[in-house]
């Protein structure tokens, strides 16, 4: 029996929270869990994961350069807590930030690939049930999420030549700041245009039943695993 979509999202949130301040053992444990999911899954997630990581390469490089120049003294680092203790302190600090981000990107890729859009929206609708007691309309929240995901999907499927042509028109004869703001404005207007075309359209999704009681042991077990691994003194 497959995991309930709600349990998948909760496990993902627990995974991300545990990696936010992870030591070497916890990072290796997270890598091992992802390796098992990717290796034993019948679906090939690697091409999509490679594409996501490739798009973030400059972001990772900027983190590495930033920490390389603004790193603390080597005496302030605790080598057993790092996977890259033999490298210069700046490289250690940068890689210590990049490695958890890579694991989180891989986890996001697995989550999005293992759930279709209908399951994802239905699970988020189920999880936002407490907001109804605060007077918030979760239907509008989920509707905006659905429209946003659909617009992003259309933008991703747009032929590269069309996107390059539009971006070249936006960036022509402008400095870096103007090109960035122009590109953001272009994508924002594109999403608004998609929303205007969908006026009056009905969005439907299935309401999920509550997860089985025994499936709640998965996020709890995941948290306990990271907690126990974090107690080990890695040398």
Q: pLDDT by residue (tens digit) across 168-187?
A: 555 555 565 666 676 667 76
Tell me: do 4 and 65 sit in the same domain. Answer: yes
Arithmetic mean of pLDDT, 124-150: 78
Tell me: do 70 and 184 sit in the same domain. Answer: no
Tell me: do 108 and 143 sit in the same domain. Answer: no
State residue 79's pLDDT score.
47
Rounded to the nearest integer, the mean pLDDT of the chain is 76
Distance of CA 191 to the CA centre of its chain: 21
Contact 71, 90 (CB under 8 A): yes
Tell me: do 177 and 217 sit in the same domain. Answer: no
Quote the CA–CA distance of 139 and 143 in Å, as a whole number: 6
Contact 111, 8 (CB under 8 A): yes
Tell me: do 29 and 103 sit in the same domain. Answer: yes
223: helix, strand or coil: helix
State residue 88's pLDDT score.
61
Going from the C-alpha of 69 to that of each of 66, 89, 94, 167, 202, the distances in angstroms are 6, 10, 10, 33, 53
User: For residue 27, with 0-12 CB atoms within 10 Å meaning exposed, 13-18 middle and 19 or more buried, which class applies?
Assistant: buried
Quote the CA–CA distance of 137 and 156 in Å, as a whole number: 29
| More confident: 81 or 63 | 63
Contact 98, 63 (CB under 8 A): yes
Tell me: do 25 and 97 sit in the same domain. Answer: yes
Q: SS3 sequence, 127-149?
A: HCHHHHHCCCCHHHHHHHHHHHH
Q: Is the pLDDT of residue 16 over 70?
A: yes
Tell me: do 135 and 187 sit in the same domain. Answer: yes
pTM of the model as a whole: 0.74
Tell me: do 134 and 235 sit in the same domain. Answer: no
Tell me: do 222 and 190 sit in the same domain. Answer: no
Q: How many domains does the chain have?
A: 2
Give the structural domain span for 51.
1-115+211-235
Tell me: do 15 and 102 sit in the same domain. Answer: yes
Tell me: do 81 and 12 sit in the same domain. Answer: yes
Nearest to 30 by CA among 85, 94, 110: 110
What is the percentage of the chain residues whose pLDDT exceeds 90? Answer: 20
Q: pLDDT by residue (tens digit) across 66-121?
A: 877 666 544 444 444 445 455 566 677 777 888 999 999 999 989 888 888 788 88
């Amino acid at each position: 029996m497959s995991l309930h979509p709600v349990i998948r999202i909760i496990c993902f949130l627990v995974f991300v929270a545990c990696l936010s301040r992870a030591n070497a053992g916890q990072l290796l444990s997270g890598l091992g869990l992802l390796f098992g999911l990717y290796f034993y899954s019948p679906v090939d997630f690697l091409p999509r994961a490679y594409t996501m990581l490739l798009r973030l390469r400059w972001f990772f490089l900027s983190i590495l350069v930033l920490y390389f120049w603004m790193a603390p003294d080597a005496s302030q680092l605790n080598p057993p807590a790092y996977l890259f203790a033999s490298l210069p302190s700046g490289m250690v600090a940068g890689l210590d930030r990049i490695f958890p981000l890579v694991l989180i990107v891989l986890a996001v890729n697995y989550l999005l690939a293992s759930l279709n859009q209908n399951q994802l929206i239905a699970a988020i609708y189920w999880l936002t049930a407490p907001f109804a007691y605060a007077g918030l309309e979760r239907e509008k929240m989920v509707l905006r999420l659905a429209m946003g995901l659909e617009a992003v999907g259309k933008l991703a499927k747009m032929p590269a030549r069309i996107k390059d042509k539009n971006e070249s028109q936006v960036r022509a004869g402008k400095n870096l700041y103007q090109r960035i703001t122009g590109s953001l404005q272009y994508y924002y207007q594109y999403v608004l245009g998609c929303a205007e075309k969908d006026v009056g359209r009905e969005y439907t999704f299935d309401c999920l039943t509550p997860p089985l009681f025994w499936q709640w042991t998965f996020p709890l077990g995941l948290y306990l695993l990271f907690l126990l691994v974090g107690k080990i003194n890695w040398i």
